[in-house]
Amino acid sequence: MKTFIHIIFFSYSLLLSSQTYHVKEFGAINDSVTLNTKAIQNAIDTCAKNGGGKVELSGGGKYLTGTLYLKSNVTLYIGNGTVLLGSPSYEDYTADTHKNMYKNEPHMNRCLIFARDAKSIAIEGYGTIDGNGYRKNFSKGRPMLIRFLNCEDIHVNNITLINPASWTSAWLYCNNISVSGISIISRVNNNGDGLDFDGCTNVRVTNSNFDNSDDSICLQASQPDKPCKNITVSNCVFSTKWGGMRIGLLSRGNIESVTVTSCVFRDIQDSGLKIQQNEGGEMKNMVFSNLVMENVPRPIFMTFCQQRASVETTEGEYEPLNRMHNFLFNNIVVDNSKGDKNSAFFLTGFPNHYIEDITIKDVQFVISGGGTKEDAAKIVKEYTLDVLKGWWPEFSKVGTLPSCGIYARHIDGLTLENFSIKTVGGDDRQPIKIEDVKNVSIDNIKFNDTPCIFEKIQD
């Protein structure tokens, strides 16, 4: 008898956990005008209370809402043709959704969808989450679309995320993340990052499209004891006004064990792969392979320097530099024939703080050319604090480089192999210039189909 009762109870629990809760049954109206925050939240809370299941928005139309709190064991499902629409009023976004971890950016603390300490959560469906983040709605306070804090077992699949007022998503100190088949379009406001993983572990991003006004994917570590590690990105397409993938800046903890493969980068204003260590963490063990880039002025931009990025460090205080080592880049095709002369692989450590063990091989690099003799004689500034003036180590701080293909300095262990550089027009700069680089191995480098001559300056 007792066993029979247990079976009935288990079956009932299983039924509850698989239930679907339609938000219309809780009073939500998909007319794009009615504010549905309470109705949708009631559906989420009821679902979580009953053991979990699916909260469904379907039937087409737009469900307007303010901040929603996603709970453990709940899947937020947005059906094909249906939109979850963020309120255009900043007051509809609550203030208890943690904060942005970058300095000087409290205007991005609020968000549309928030989860804290949740397990087994998902956002799925072939519908759309629209942040409604136009500048006419949000000029000062600009909420993010999604923020997850200390969550585990997260799935975001087959959903379209558009029009955030700032970042599309921030993932803080989360574990076991799967993102697949999503599309992000974030061009209507500033700081339109795509996926920002801060101190996250075991992350998979695949089969997704990005069209951003800022970095498409960011890997960072705002807490010294929260590493960002075990990250894979594959089969994605990136287009952005800034960086395709930015790794670092916010780098108080370790960032390690990263693979990026079989991706396309196109029409990017700044850099394809932007790897920048400038706080107290260690950055290591990364592989980037089978990449195609078109109109990407800096396919690889690496910097190692000192700067404060975190909101939790005091103004004027800087953490000691640690290590940045073990990077492999291979099978990369870059076509920058339509760009300007500021196209190059730019790798720079810092005096007495070398980036260690970089290998770049099997690369085809087409550039427009246009560099002058004056450009060839240029001395490149170091990324010192007085040069940065409180800002990030961006390319604009140094400008045109004295080489047209590769500029590398302050590196210990650099291997270049099977690297072809071709210019559409003439260029008076050397194709490769290396400065204060130790343990160099260069093999089969061609410039316009002839063996490459490069300039090496040793301090």
Rounded to the nearest 5 percent, the helix, strand and coil shares of the chain are 10, 50, 40
Q: CB of 44 within 8 A of CB of 57?
A: no
Residue 229 CA to residue 285 CA, distance in Å, equals 10
**DSSP type of residue 448:** T
Residue 367 CA to residue 363 CA, distance in Å, equals 13
- pLDDT tens-place string over residues 134-186: 999 998 899 999 999 999 999 999 999 999 999 999 999 999 999 999 999 99
DSSP string across 72-83: TTEEEEE-TTEE
When pLDDT is cut at 50, 70 and 90, the band that residue 342 belongs to is very high
Q: CB of 339 within 8 A of CB of 271?
A: no
Residue 331 CA to residue 420 CA, distance in Å, equals 12
Chain Cα centroid distance, residue 159:
18
| Coil vs helix vs strand at 309 | coil
Residue 192 CA to residue 108 CA, distance in Å, equals 11
- pLDDT tens-place string over residues 360-418: 999 999 999 999 999 999 999 999 999 999 889 999 999 999 999 999 999 999 999 99
- pLDDT tens-place string over residues 79-106: 999 999 999 999 999 999 999 989 888 9
- pLDDT tens-place string over residues 104-124: 889 999 999 999 999 999 999
Q: What are the start-end ranges of the E strands in 150-187?
A: 152-157, 160-162, 169-172, 175-180, 183-186
**DSSP type of residue 402:** S
Q: Give residue 93's pLDDT.
A: 98
DSSP string across 197-238: EES-EEEEEES-EEEESS-SEEEEE-STT--EEEEEEES-EE
- Give Cβ neighbours of residue 369 (< 8 Å, ≥ 6 apart): 341, 404, 423, 424, 425, 426, 427
Q: CB of 355 within 8 A of CB of 324?
A: yes
Average pLDDT, the chain: 94
- Four-point Cα dihedral 219, 224, 229, 235, nearest 10: 0
Q: Which residue has the tokens 């210019």?
A: 423
Domain boundaries, the chain: 15-211, 215-459
Nearest residue to 348 (alpha-carbon basis) of 293, 291, 276: 276
Q: Which H helix or E strand runs over 174? A: none
Residue 279 CA to residue 313 CA, distance in Å, equals 10
Q: CB of 208 within 8 A of CB of 183?
A: yes
Nearest residue to 222 (alpha-carbon basis) of 300, 328, 150, 157: 150
Tell me: pLDDT of 4 over 50.
Answer: no
Q: CB of 285 within 8 A of CB of 254?
A: no
Nearest residue to 412 (alpha-carbon basis) of 348, 362, 361: 348
Which residue type is seen at 173?
Y
Q: Are strands 169-172 and 237-240 parallel, antiparallel or unpaired?
A: unpaired
When pLDDT is cut at 50, 70 and 90, the band that residue 452 belongs to is confident
Which residue type is seen at 429?
R
pLDDT-wise least confident of 247-261, 337-351, 384-398, 442-456: 442-456
Q: Are strands 430-447 and 450-451 parallel, antiparallel or unpaired?
A: antiparallel
| Coil vs helix vs strand at 88 | coil
Q: Tell me the CA distances in angstroms from 79 to 34, 67, 163, one per residue in order.
A: 19, 20, 18
Q: CB of 69 within 8 A of CB of 44?
A: yes
The fold for domain 15-211 equals: Pectate Lyase C-like (2.160.20)
- Maximal CA-CA distance, the chain: 92
